[in-house]
Amino acid sequence: MAEKISRREVIRQTTLGAGALALGVPLSCTSPATNEESTNEMKKMPQQTAAYQHSVCKWCYGDIPLEQFCEQVQDLGIKSIELLGPDDWATVQKYGLTCALGTDSFFSIPKGFNNPETHEGFLKEYTRLIDQAADAGIPSVICFSGNRDGMDDSVGLENCAVGLDKIAKHAEKKGVMVVMELLNSKVNHKDYMCDHTVWGAALVDKVASPNFKLLYDIYHMQIMEGDIIATIKEYQDYIGHYHTGGVPGRNEINDTQELYYPAIMKAIKDTGYDRFVAQEYIPSWDDQIAALAEGIRICTI
């Protein structure tokens, strides 16, 4: 569990500690700020120089009402609140934000496209969801492979490709990206099939649509295979979305965990990626917005 810290302290850290972060110096090395300084610093988050944009996953902040959350993140350089269904898209847009990655209630992680029984229903529901996303200006929607349940990975890949074929073609017509999330099957999602980048990339090749790519979740893939930066470089053309998270524990992405996110974000920037990177860690601090502000600061390259 990360040390409890005040919102005032994190604003001091995230703003005055920019040089320290660049050098890999712990944020605790910076000096205290007054309340007035903290307030002003919150409003002066650093400008993004990379083409990618900041997003955040709402489920990590479940106790905060959506409208209140929209108000709280506006000054952090965040452009999107994601993993929201169609009923919530208008709310975030009211605050000048978007939902970078749309979801819905008709699918689940364990039962996905590798199960042919889902295909007929998924075609109908994803067609509807993609239409809604296109109408609302939502750039991407999420999908899942499903669990193995004893199925061979090569069979599951073929099943996923068959189920996704018409959906990906419809997404092309509508200008919406469909992304399949890479999840770990070691800790959080036992038996999940799309748990390695190589398998996911093979599926992208099989579907062969510019509107079907992978959601590269850095937390999950560090657990499953590591070698994050080299994988990002090698498979950059297969990735349509990114999620962050500290390993182990899926908490803050600072120096309390094993990944060095400034270098990871530089690698993403260097690929020319211009879509969204979403913070998907569960804050362990009392002030959840302060914890989010720190993550955005770390990922602003």
In angstroms, the CA 198 to CA 167 distance is 22
In angstroms, the CA 101 to CA 57 distance is 9
- Going from N- to C-terminal start, the domains of the chain cover 50-298
Sign of the Cα pseudo-torsion (131, 106, 83, 248, in order): negative
> Is it true that the peptide bond before 248 is cis, omega within 30 degrees of 0?
yes
Torsion of CA 212, 226, 275, 238, to 10 degrees: -30
Going residue by residue through the chain, which has 301 residues, state the pLDDT in tens, using 9 for 90 and above.
444 445 445 444 544 443 343 334 334 333 333 333 433 444 455 666 678 999 999 999 999 999 999 999 999 999 999 999 999 999 999 999 999 999 999 999 999 999 999 999 999 999 999 999 999 999 999 999 999 999 999 999 999 999 999 999 999 999 999 999 999 999 999 999 999 999 999 999 999 999 999 999 999 999 999 999 999 999 999 999 999 999 999 999 999 999 999 999 999 999 999 999 999 999 999 999 999 999 999 999 9
pTM of the model: 0.86
Going by CATH, does the domain composed of 50-298 fall within 3.40.190.10?
no
How is residue 89 written in tokens? 């898209």
Q: Which residues contact 112 (CB under 8 A, 6 or more apart)?
A: 118, 143, 144, 145, 146, 147, 160, 193
